[in-house]
Amino acid sequence: MKRITLFAGHYGSGKTSIAVSYAKYLKSMGKDTAIVDLDIVNPYFRTKDSEKELEKLGISIVSSEYANTNLDAPALPKEIYKVIANKNLNLVIDVGGDDRGAVALGRFADDIMEDSDFDMYFVSNFYRPLTKTAEEAFEVMREIEDAGHIPFTGIINNSNLGNASEFNTLVAKNEEAERLSKLSNLPIVFSAITEEFYKEDDPKMFKIELQDKYYEIEKGEDKNG
């Protein structure tokens, strides 16, 4: 486990839910934890949506002042440099979707890679329209790396169909995830599983919680449209 963990992927891949769940996991292990919301492009699903819950757990959150607004202003707080430099802090970074969102990451690439104490995981969902195949996902990976100037170190399989998911939904895309692993020469770190399908004795599963906003949208209750 490295001190800094970054999650990046295609829009709608589920990286934000995974980033939030991973920060909670680190905190449950007694680690001083912070999470950085680097998504300055998409105002819809953001780490900041879980801000109150994270603060109750003692997890600090650093995000743009424009998070949860419809302004796509490239404003990033200086606190990001401070939390990256804090060697006593376990840091989770939620990177904006695709190469456009990863551009902000490039500003901090040298600081993050300075001690080689980081992992950057590509979150894959092979049910998304533009990443249905390993080849399509691999192209997105390379675009993100070029924009963010940080190499991926592993893959997370988060193939799901939202509330319509069944356990076999994820299993059905295992082969595609393996193909992506071979194309990129990177390991599959884990498969992200919600509680109803999680098997505690399977070391390749990581239990995640979906954000409340996700459920609001699934039920047609989101007030932001």
Secondary structure letter of residue 25 according to DSSP: H
- Give the integer Cα–Cα distance in Å for 216 and 211: 9
Window from 8-12, 20-24, 108-112, 160-164 with minimum mean pLDDT = 160-164
Separation between Cα atoms, residue 158 and residue 160, nearest integer Å: 6
Instruction: Give the three-class secondary structure for 63.
Output: strand
Cα–Cα distances (Å) from 5 to 52, 59, 112, 218, in that order, read 22, 15, 10, 29
Q: What is the DSSP track for 75-114?
A: ---THHHHHHH-TT-EEEEEPPSHHHHHGGGGGGHHHHHT
pTM of the model as a whole: 0.86
Say what the pLDDT of residue 95 is. Answer: 93
Please say if the pLDDT value at position 170 is more than 90.
Answer: no
- Token pair of 44 as six digits: 């819809």
127-164, pLDDT tens digit by residue? 999 999 999 999 999 999 999 999 999 999 999 877 66
Which tokens belong to 175? 């082969």
